[in-house]
Amino acid sequence: MAAAVERRNERLSARVSPRDKDLIETAARLRGISVTDFLKTTATDAAHRVIRESEMFTLAERSRKIFVETLLNPPKPYPAAIAAAKRLQPS
Give the residue extent of every domain in the chain.
Answer: 18-88
Calculate the CA dihedral of residues 56, 62, 67, 68 and round it to 10 degrees: 120
Using alpha carbons, select from 40, 33, 32, 34 the residue that is nearest to residue 14: 40
Span 60-81, average pLDDT? 90
pLDDT for 38: 98
CB 28 within 8 A of CB 37: yes
How much is the CA Rg of the chain, to the nearest whole Å?
A: 27
Amino acid 9: pLDDT: 87
Residue 4 has pLDDT above 80, yes or no: no
16-25: per-residue pLDDT in tens?
999 999 999 9
